Structure 1
Amino acid sequence: MPIRHAVIHQIDKKPDGSPAALHLAGATLPESVAIDNLLYDVADTYNAKQGKAWGFFHGESGAYPLSGWLSKYMAGSTDFLEFTREAAEHLTRLMEESNLTTGGHVLFAHYQQGMTEYLAIAILQQVETVSVAADLSVSVSRNLDTTNLSFAARICLSEWQNNPKSRQYISFIKSKSGKKISGYFQDFIGCQEGVDGPGETRTLLKAFSDFVESEDLPEDSAREKTQVLVDYATSQTKRGEPVTIEELSELIDEDRPKAFFDYIRNKDYGLSPEIPADKRTINQFRRFTGRAEGLSISFEAHLLGKRIEFDQGAGTLMIKGVPTQLVDQIKRASQA
């Protein structure tokens, strides 16, 4: 991933209410293996992070000035260092208002991956490590911790500039502790949520389940296609890329590459062409299928123990919330 510009500023902020101190870098970071490795490690941790949210910029205002500064930088009116300095000063002011936050080293990186440009922003903490020299002496050093990210965001600059109607060109880590803890960072980015990643993922999986059922596929084929979906979605989340419905359709059925795509298009699922897949939801998705003597059963693995209970000793399944369509068919048959 070629890095166009990168810089690190430091905000010294303790959670005891003492004033925050901002230490601005005097220049952007020169090209080096070290900064390449740093960004790679940050991106790797960020992509693997669960619970990210997706959205787009609020309209530029005094409360949300970052998009305006970023626009000037992208237009060439200001340079990267000036843009990040303004941003770091704004972030410091927001930190100052929150006694629940600590400072850190703020990484800004404008980089390219393939044909797409991104801006990554992450607050990194330091950790102490022990190293051993050639003479077997030991020393303690402080290093940036790239394995733990609580405050980070990635802006797809290409999509932001080329697709103004998009509602998912920004992703950011959403704290499990609620807005009180991390709301200031979302306000700093000036981002509002535009896409419900877990909800979109659940809808995609529902559409896939409906598709498999409509195709009346053999057990092995259904299991194979499920694994293709899981593998593809997992790979995309690791890369930080969305799931593309058309590409997924081609992978699911190479002989009929448009089958799943057309099925979704002709049904009222309301799915976008690209979906920011939720890793946790994908990991929960597996299908159990089986057929024997006129009986066909297929259900998603996460339903086991919830809507479906298995009694191993008796060899029985108990289903809660039987589909309405099936209930109606059974009622009509029993009344005939």
Structure 2
Amino acid sequence: MPIRHSIIHQIDKKPDGTPAVLHVSSIELVESQATENLINDLNVAYNAKARKGWGFFHPQSGAFPLSGWLQAYLNSGGFIEFSTTAVEHLTKLMEESNLSVGGHVLLAHYQQGINDYLVVALLQHSESVTVNADLSVTPSKHLDFGNINLAARINISEWRSNPKSRQYISYLKGLKGRKATDYFRDFIGCQEGVDGPGETRTLLKAFSDFVAAEDWHEDSAREKTHALVSYSLAQAKIGEPITLDDLSELIDEDRPKAFYDFSRSKDYGLSAEIPADKRTLNQFRRFTGRTDGLSISFEAHMLGSKVEFNKAAGTLMLRGLPPKLTDQLKRASV
């Protein structure tokens, strides 16, 4: 993972309301194993976060200036100047929001695969203890990657090559509500473009319909479901989208375009690339079974809510039946 430029600034802001103090670095991080580990650990922690938004830049303006500064840096160079201007703007927005404490601001421009990325993250420290060479112990601090709440990643390559894309920026959605993170999204200048959970649910609905239409044997359906979920979670782990072409080929190697063509013909409105939402994927497993005159299929997350299994009796209790099925049963019972 070649790192083109990286730097850390510090915003000293206490929760007591005192004015924030910005400490600007005048030098970039040196190329080293430590720097590479830092960016890699940040990426791993960022990709592991389930709550993400996906979007694209607002038109460059006084309210949303970052895209203009980034474009100027990419055109003419000057990463330190770009990062300094950006972190000064972030400090101003943080001061105005009065909803955030400070921390170390990491900006890194790196290459992963064929794409260039810019990641911006506000990092906090955590207290720890280290054992010295003489076996004594002393307190120490380390960056707490597990507690990242404010971070965004811009796919520079997609932004520049496909300006109509609506998902070249990803950002973390905080657990404390939108107000606590809106100022950071405003700093990035990002507007929401793609509903990751919604897109993932639509993809899973299209896949379920495809499985039903193909009428596969239970074992085959389970195997292909496992392939879909495994691939999608693997993409989420590395921060890459689900690609319909690749997924279609994975589902049916003998007919690599079958699922792709099915999803297009039924007009689900799916993009060619879909941001993988881990929470939605983890909820998705299908239990299926077929016997004489009876076919049952439901998603695993319904077990225990709309579907209850009595292990001793070997029976299922269903709640929330589809209205059409309910009407048929009522007419049949007259």
Fold-level match, TM-score > 0.5? yes
Question: Within 1, Cα distance between the matches of 2:261 and 2:333?
Answer: 37
Note the alpha carbon deviations across 1:4-49, whole angstroms, 9 max, x for none: 0000000000111101000000111110111100000000000000
Q: Is the 8 A contact 1:117 1:156 kept in 2?
A: yes
Question: Within 2, Cα distance between the matches of 1:324 and 1:261?
Answer: 30
Q: Is the 8 A contact 1:116 1:156 kept in 2?
A: yes
**Correspondence for 1:68:** 68
**Correspondence for 2:185:** 186
Kindly indicate whether residue 35 of structure 2 is the aligned counterpart of residue 35 of structure 1: yes
Note the alpha carbon deviations across 1:100-142, whole angstroms, 9 max, x for none: 2100000000000111000000111112222222221222222
Tell me how far 1:317 sits from its aligned partner: 2.3
Question: Within 2, Cα distance between the matches of 1:318 and 1:248?
Answer: 34
Tell me how far 1:144 sits from its aligned partner: 2.0
Give the 5 Å matches for 1:1-336.
1-76=1-76, 78-324=77-323, 326=325
Moved more, 305-314 or 106-115: 305-314
Question: Within 2, Cα distance between the matches of 1:80 and 1:222?
Answer: 51
Instruction: Kindly report the root-mean-square deviation, in angstroms, between the aligned alpha carbons of the 2 structures.
Output: 1.7
Distance 1:318 1:72, change over 3 A: same
Report the TM-score when normalising by structure 2. 0.96
Note the alpha carbon deviations across 1:241-291, whole angstroms, 9 max, x for none: 000011001111111111111110111211101100110000010110112
List, as ranges, runs of 4+ consecutive aligned residues in structure 1 with deviation greater than 4 Å. 324-335
Unaligned runs of 5+ in 2: none
Tell me how far 1:201 sits from its aligned partner: 0.6
Note the alpha carbon deviations across 1:180-226, whole angstroms, 9 max, x for none: 11111111111111110000111110111000010001010000000
**SS at 1:123's partner residue?**
strand
Moved more, 200-209 or 171-180: 171-180
Tell me how far 1:328 sits from its aligned partner: 6.4
Tell me how far 1:327 sits from its aligned partner: 5.2
Q: Is the 8 A contact 1:16 1:99 kept in 2?
A: no
Moved more, 145-154 or 101-110: 145-154
- Give the residue type in structure 2 aligned to 1:167: R
**SS at 1:147's partner residue?**
helix
Question: Within 1, Cα distance between the matches of 2:10 and 2:18?
Answer: 16
Question: Within 1, Cα distance between the matches of 2:322 and 2:20?
Answer: 57
Tell me how far 1:294 sits from its aligned partner: 2.6
Note the alpha carbon deviations across 1:148-168, whole angstroms, 9 max, x for none: 211000000001011111000
- Give the residue type in structure 2 aligned to 1:91: L
Moved more, 3-12 or 321-330: 321-330
Question: Within 2, Cα distance between the matches of 1:328 and 1:181?
Answer: 47
**SS at 1:128's partner residue?**
strand
Q: Is the 8 A contact 1:109 1:120 kept in 2?
A: yes
Question: Within 2, Cα distance between the matches of 1:143 and 1:307?
Answer: 45
Question: Sequence identity of aligned pairs in percent?
Answer: 66
Moved more, 113-122 or 306-315: 306-315
Moved more, 130-139 or 58-67: 130-139
Distance 1:249 1:329, change over 3 A: farther
Report the TM-score when normalising by structure 1. 0.95
**SS at 1:212's partner residue?**
helix
Question: Within 1, Cα distance between the matches of 2:18 and 2:247?
Answer: 52
Unaligned runs of 5+ in 1: none
- Give the residue type in structure 2 aligned to 1:46: Y
**SS at 1:291's partner residue?**
strand
Question: Within 2, Cα distance between the matches of 1:284 and 1:143?
Answer: 34
